[in-house]
Structure 1
Amino acid sequence: MARRSSVLVFLVSALLVLALFPFMLSLGLLTGIGFAVSVAIALWRGVLWRDKTAVVWIAIGYALVTFSARLLLPIAWVRWQQQSFIVALGLLATFLLIFWRAQRFKRGRR
């Protein structure tokens, strides 16, 4: 239970960093950092040891988030703030998928 709480604290702090500092990093760098963190969490939770395709699905999710952010938000002065929010939502969805998959593996289901 303590490990789960620390992961949730890390998740919330990562989302706050992404939401509150949209002008510090470019969208590509935010996406890269989010991807690296997601893969690290997946390794830590043990998802990647049982399902090698998890990295592929995380990469596809981040590619879709980046593409949709650049396609759907053409207004330059609003772009950074909204894109960082979309990336934060993508990060949250990816983490939730990882936790869901980890719970299914714990129960012995694929």
Structure 2
Amino acid sequence: MHTAKTIGAAITPAMKENMKCPKCGRDTEWLRALSRVDNKTMICDECGTKEALDAMGLTEGSSVRKSILACVGRGSTPQERIRANVQATGNKWAMENFRDTHN
């Protein structure tokens, strides 16, 4: 399991079936984001992203904010999203190259 290090604390993402985000109340498989509100509560990726965007001053209605939030949840990691994009091309050489450079 991945453990993130923060100033003075080690944060381990919570992984359970049918868990709810304490901030938005939606069902989720992961609580991987540490809330900026109290620096203790683990929240879902989307709520964590929203808190980060709020801290940057990207308010509701911002086109940049909408674009960023549209990307949340497309895959667990950037590597998995790229792997899916490469596989979608059907290019055998590209898939072999990705496998050889990312494993």
Shorter-chain TM band: 0.3 to 0.5
Q: Which has the higher contact order (CA 8 A, sep 6+)?
A: 1
TM-score, L = length of structure 2: 0.34
Q: Which has the larger radius of gyration?
A: 2
Greater strand share, structure number: 2
Structure richer in helix, relative to its length = 1
